[in-house]
Structure 1
Amino acid sequence: MATTAQQQGSFEGTLRSAKTSMVFSETLQLAIDSFRASKVRSLLTMLGMIIGSASIVLVVTVGLTGKQYAIQTISSLGPNLVEMQYSGGTTIGPNNTSTPDYMTREDEDAVREAVPGIAYSSPMLETHAAISMGEGRTKDALLLGVSPQYKDVRNLAVVAGRFFDDQDAIAHEKVCVLIEPFAKALYGSAQNAVGQTFTIVGIPFTVVGVAKLRITDFGQSELSDQTALIPYPVARYFTGRDDVKEIFFTMRDPMDVTSGADKITRIIQSRHKPTSVYKAQTLVDVLEVMGQIATSLTYVLTAAAFITLVVSGVGIMNSMLANVSARIREIGIRKALGATRREVRMQFLTEAVTLSLGGGLIGTLLGLALPLSISFLTPFHIPVSPWSAVIALSTSTLVGVIFGTVPANRAAALDPVETLKYE
């Protein structure tokens, strides 16, 4: 007996499942037939959903692209960079004279010995001088005395010639590397600049290379369009001191930047007066802020796209209400033939969701097509988030359900006797 009851229950469950499948299939077919009967109205109703869904995908894509570009731009100033700066404090010398408590090359060496994970480092001496190219031609320049590792610290690209090396620094060779805009201003092109000679305070210098930042820094680094880089030991000729206001360190692992900055600060601080102030600047905070700005902007623009979807949802509801009014007699005939209120409600709700989801699908495909085409046809890579498609389609479905409920309930509540009298 128990076995027979179980078999009967299983049979009834299978029957219910088959009936549900048949009802849904019939309902979907009725929705498709309704769209075919009024193609223009259906397309116009879907237009708002198409625009809204495409907007969501494109807005998220623009936000991701902007975030990626901002991060690449900032990172180009020096990947994993820790910039130590002297901020204040003095030492008392002979005759009670106070002098700034600058950092030294010994501080740099001490840090490199004590802090693991440092890939490159470079001190920087900064001074301004006029360079003379003969025949009375002079040009003001920003001279930066740096080590050969400065090229890697600042992620410079050498566009002509070479960067000076350790041998040049040890031998105090009078060589320099010009920043590309300066080389073009002086000699017309980067290639023409290599091998040229000019003098600074009567000392002849030979241009051995021309370099540039890989991505524009928007004025955020110490490099200007009139910069000449020279070996640090040679730069001391112009200052007469071994004091350093800035030392750059590059960590191998970006995860070590924050902890490395703290260690570097403690070591340098311990080698100077307690009242002296040294600050470590990193790109971590800047990158986080840029990411937050890009994300916030994406949220705002996505909210605007959601408004478009809501407005299109109102359009779907109005269209479906008009559709119910135009099909009152059809609804009465279906009810007379045995259709339940639930089946009528499901029919019109399915039509609304199909309209909304169809528009969302078309809009999502159009929104994805643009960035994917750019990535495929050009060398530019446009990041595309699959979540933007999921959000667009989910929102389209939700809008169809919400704004299709009222027309569906109105159709289901119609009295079959009254509907059959309707002309």
Structure 2
Amino acid sequence: MLQSFKMAIKSIWGNKMRSFLTMLGIIIGVASVIILVSLVNGQMTYMTEQFASMGTNQINVNVSNLSSRSVTVDEMYDFYEDNQGLFSQMTPKVSISATIKSGTETLTDTTVTGVSEQYLEMKDQTLDTGRFLQYSDILSRQKVCVAGYYVAWDLFGGVDKAIGQTLKIDGTSYQIVGVISRQDEDNMEAGGTDDVLYLPYTSAVRQTKNANVSNYVFATADMDHTTESKTAITMFLMGIFKDDDLFRVSAMSELLDSLNSMMSMMSMMLGGIAGISLLVAGVGVMNIMLVSVTERTREIGIRKALGAQKRNIMQQFVIEAAVTSSLGGVIGIVVGSIATTVIGSFMGLDATPTPGAVLISFSVSVGIGLIFGYMPASRAAKLNPIDALRSE
């Protein structure tokens, strides 16, 4: 075995260019599998983090209130109070499309949302300075708001400078009582996660001149009981609306599971497509090994004449094919790992070579060497020693 391995290395080294071209297909195939799978996994990690920042323990409820059938905020709070074992927080959510002004400065991409005093804890965010909304603000419909980091800097030139300042939301004045800590450490831009404004949902309802609140967010007390919590909300709303087309209940954790399942399928599909190039590379290995057998027919005849068994000849050529594809696999892993890091950095993803992709692609490359090297090795082993010695 050791002697066959040494002879394989000597043969590969003796035909450097041909060996490299044979390995090239393996290198490209292995590198492609690693790059594609790792980038998809990097994207999956990024999207998972984005969903986590939105709250994987949250359930979003959207209702279509009718004049004959509707649910009020008080009824939703009564339901929440009756199911404290399932839910830890709840807030009505009123979205406003508005223009923000302060002096001559104007913001048009700011996300303005009416929420309850529990919203900050639900989003797992912290305050940079000041305070968040309080129950008294909700009860008395105070004209106060909590600004995002971008709003404070863009309109007032700093976080501390924003506290106590007044801005106008579609002409209605609100006083800033707090500023949320910076959420995006890399980018702070219009329409981003720091370009937000929170005000009491009661004030937001008055601002929109709509008496009905149609969106609510629940935070589950236990992630393991998400399905049970979702069912409880569904049954409660069904009792009011009598029609499941009039409301929608969606759990963030279920959306995340669906996303992960879809991304995993995509990763396997792209890995399979890249793996086709490994099969093509296997054909290349087989062709080169057949050429090698033809070139070394006389050598095979001499070895057989000196007593070499059929299995010795077969072992030599199979090992040579396996070593060729294995070296190609190793080089492919190095190339794929470097390319993954570079491409991931360029795309802004934390993409690292996936151990599973590395192991599978290398195993496939070795397997290809063994499988596609078998036929040429078998042909060499079956050569008649006399005919082999007479070949030129």
Measured after TM superposition, the shift of residue 180 of structure 1 is: 4.5
Other-structure match for 1:388 = 357
Moved more, 385-394 or 327-336: 385-394
Q: Is the contact made by 2:145 and 2:199 (CA closer than 8 Å) also made in structure 1?
A: yes
Of 367, 381, 384 in structure 1, the residue corresponding to residue 336 of structure 2 is: 367
Counterpart code for 2:58: L
Q: Is the contact made by 2:24 and 2:328 (CA closer than 8 Å) also made in structure 1?
A: yes
Measured after TM superposition, the shift of residue 235 of structure 1 is: 4.0
Distance 1:106 1:194, change over 3 A: same
Other-structure match for 2:262 = 293
Q: In the TM superposition, what are the counterparts of 1:412-423 in structure 2 within 5 Å?
A: 412-423=381-392
SS at match of 2:93: strand
Other-structure match for 2:12 = 35
Other-structure match for 2:70 = 101
Measured after TM superposition, the shift of residue 175 of structure 1 is: 1.7
Distance in 1, Cα, partners of 2:247 & 2:138? 27
Measured after TM superposition, the shift of residue 149 of structure 1 is: 1.3
Measured after TM superposition, the shift of residue 192 of structure 1 is: 4.1
Distance in 1, Cα, partners of 2:262 & 2:35? 17
Q: TM-score scaled to structure 2, two decimals?
A: 0.83
Of 15, 18, 34 in structure 2, the residue corresponding to residue 57 of structure 1 is: 34
Structure 2 unmatched ranges of 5 or more: 186-190
Distance 1:374 1:44, change over 3 A: closer
Q: TM-score scaled to structure 1, two decimals?
A: 0.77
Distance in 1, Cα, partners of 2:13 & 2:371? 24
Q: In the TM superposition, what are the counterparts of 1:46-85 in structure 2 within 5 Å?
A: 46-85=23-62
Moved more, 193-202 or 82-91: 193-202
Moved more, 111-120 or 67-76: 111-120
Counterpart code for 1:40: M
Over the matched positions of the two proteins, sequence identity in percent amounts to: 31
| 1:346 equivalent in alignment to 2:323 | no
Larger radius of gyration: 1
Other-structure match for 1:4 = none
- CA RMSD, 1 decimal: 3.6
Distance 1:293 1:189, change over 3 A: farther
Distance in 2, Cα, partners of 1:201 & 1:373? 46
Of 296, 301, 313 in structure 2, the residue corresponding to residue 327 of structure 1 is: 296
Task: Give the count of matched residue pairs.
Answer: 383
Q: Is the contact made by 1:155 and 1:213 (CA closer than 8 Å) also made in structure 2?
A: no
Counterpart code for 1:78: G
Distance 1:241 1:315, change over 3 A: closer
Counterpart code for 1:44: L
SS at match of 1:390: helix
Distance in 2, Cα, partners of 1:200 & 1:317? 72
Other-structure match for 1:397 = 366
Distance in 2, Cα, partners of 1:77 & 1:299? 27
SS at match of 1:64: helix
Measured after TM superposition, the shift of residue 207 of structure 1 is: 0.7
Measured after TM superposition, the shift of residue 184 of structure 1 is: 5.0
CA deviations on 1:352-378 (whole Å, 9 max, x unpaired) are 1111122112322443456579999xx
Distance in 2, Cα, partners of 1:157 & 1:413? 76
Measured after TM superposition, the shift of residue 61 of structure 1 is: 1.0
Moved more, 343-352 or 181-190: 181-190
| 1:255 equivalent in alignment to 2:224 | yes
Q: Is the contact made by 2:149 and 2:182 (CA closer than 8 Å) also made in structure 1?
A: no
Distance 1:238 1:47, change over 3 A: closer
Counterpart code for 2:45: Q
| 1:163 equivalent in alignment to 2:140 | no
Counterpart code for 1:397: V
Counterpart code for 2:387: E
Q: Is the contact made by 2:183 and 2:194 (CA closer than 8 Å) also made in structure 1?
A: no
Other-structure match for 2:188 = none
CA deviations on 1:182-237 (whole Å, 9 max, x unpaired) are 44554455554332113569865211233489469xxxxx9999853212344455
Q: Is the contact made by 1:65 and 1:383 (CA closer than 8 Å) also made in structure 2?
A: yes
Moved more, 338-347 or 280-289: 280-289
SS at match of 1:289: helix
Of 55, 64, 79 in structure 2, the residue corresponding to residue 87 of structure 1 is: 64
Distance in 2, Cα, partners of 1:130 & 1:223? 16
SS at match of 1:76: helix
SS at match of 1:164: coil
SS at match of 1:407: helix
Other-structure match for 1:206 = 175
Q: Is the contact made by 2:64 and 2:70 (CA closer than 8 Å) also made in structure 1?
A: no
Distance in 1, Cα, partners of 2:288 & 2:209? 83
Structure 1 unmatched ranges of 5 or more: 1-23, 92-99, 217-221
Distance 1:199 1:296, change over 3 A: closer
Distance 1:66 1:202, change over 3 A: closer
